[in-house]
A and B are shown apart, each in its own frame.
Chain A
């Protein structure tokens, strides 16, 4: 697994992908938080990081599929899938290795935003007047949400040898799971059913985490969606033998 991980991660670093992803993410989020008056913390006047955590997922919906789109699609197109799959490693190792590489890159892009937290912490009146546990929970939430997006991206990459198809499908699926399901639930008039549908989407669990409450049910939700996507990917890889 570690071989696949390091090959993939080096691949990101050696190509432009890593720098573009990190650059675009930080520029976009930086502008939103500090510059554009509609969303800027400075204009808003409250010492919180809601801008990052409410708009960040939408940036990630486009960035993560861009990271993951080539992971299997390119291997399939170039025929290197056959090279990988005839080496003494299991399919799980390949899938997990690729998943770990893409989630690591995403977390790398998120890491510098801790500076924003520190800035807002200092800007607070009095200093330190920020809901730190809420921020912590939100960071965990956005990390877990990135894991789900990466797993979705890896999955769509495994079903096609065309990177564009992979990208568009992944972006759509991410958006659907993130807020699409939530929007659907508003169509249902019956309360308990609407809630159940809502709970299938990421937004419900993400919001609950951003309140600073780490509920095991939310954790379980993120882990199982990620696991399900990776299992599907592994199944797709095995399907060549059917």
Chain B
């Protein structure tokens, strides 16, 4: 079962919330869906789950078109909406039974399944409480449990770990990882480590437009050059540094310190050391900056804003 999105657009009035996005998620894949607030992530997910209709484009979930076969799509999809809406006046069991019945399970199978999912999501200690008395972390787990109940083949999770403490985040992540085998998972998040911990692939959108869709390792590699922070005892002449072979860019941090970005596959460390000895400078600091997914995210999304 897979998920395909083709030339998807959504207009709110004249505002384009989602602008011509295409990507797909294959079975067994966990794809991280990233983007700054208001980029159109939730809107896209709402269209995939059939809550909103696309203005243009096609969505195919597990072989079914969302507009033509909404019920079939909903039957094989588990969805955890943003903000995790719950019926707060219901008990945990009551809520899960209701969600299960809506999902088309019934009878003793449903009871069995609810017990199983309560165990899987770690709700056991709180299972006899009313939803309104649960803490945010447990509510989130109940929300996740609800989306998994009918054993969906496609999982759409909108910020499943928002508002949780670090321990809870790790646990929820473990659950997602555990259940996601052989499923198609698309999840959005703001936490970059999560992407590294969970995903095979990332899709990044900004202002409704797709800006990246690739394996995480490829994305990090493509950006190539490494970034170094150098500090000399003496004042630096930026122009000199720029002229060195293999240097792509130099930005001054202060008079004595600057950030040097290399061309791809060039190790600047020895070069900088030689430069320092040639000039008779004393090199105080030479630090390699890891090119992280945070900086990648920033580059892809902030840069675009500038234009």
Contact = CB atoms under 8 A, between A and B. Distances in A.
Interface of A: 3-4, 7, 10-11, 14-15, 78-90, 240-242
A4 B101 CA distance: 9
B83 A79 contact: yes
A3 B87 CA distance: 15
A78 B51 contact: no
22 contacts: A7-B98, A10-B94, A11-B89, A78-B85, A79-B83, A79-B85, A80-B87, A82-B85, A83-B85, A83-B99, A84-B102, A85-B50, A85-B51, A86-B49, A86-B50, A86-B51, A86-B81, A87-B99, A87-B102, A88-B102, A88-B103, A90-B71
Contact of A14 (B72, B81, B85, B89): B89
B74 interface: yes
Given A78-B88, A240-B52, A3 B101 contact: yes
Nearest to B67: A241
Contact of B102 (A78, A79, A81, A89): A89
B53 A88 contact: no
A79 B81 CA distance: 9
Which 4 A/B pairs are nearest by Cβ-Cβ distance? A79-B85, A241-B53, A87-B102, A88-B74
Contacts of A85: 50-51
B231 to A, nearest CB: 51
A86 B89 contact: no
Contacts of A4: 102
Nearest to A81: B85
A82 B270 CA distance: 58
* Interface bracket on B: 20 to 34
Contacts of A89: 71, 102
B46 interface: yes
Interface string B27-71: 000000000000000000010011111000000000000000001
B79 A86 contact: yes
Which of A10, A15, A88 has its CB near the most chain B CB atoms (within 10 A)?
A88
B188 interface: no
A82 B81 contact: yes
Nearest to A85: B51
B39 to A, nearest CB: 19
A241 B52 CA distance: 5
A14 B131 CA distance: 14
Contacts of A242: 53
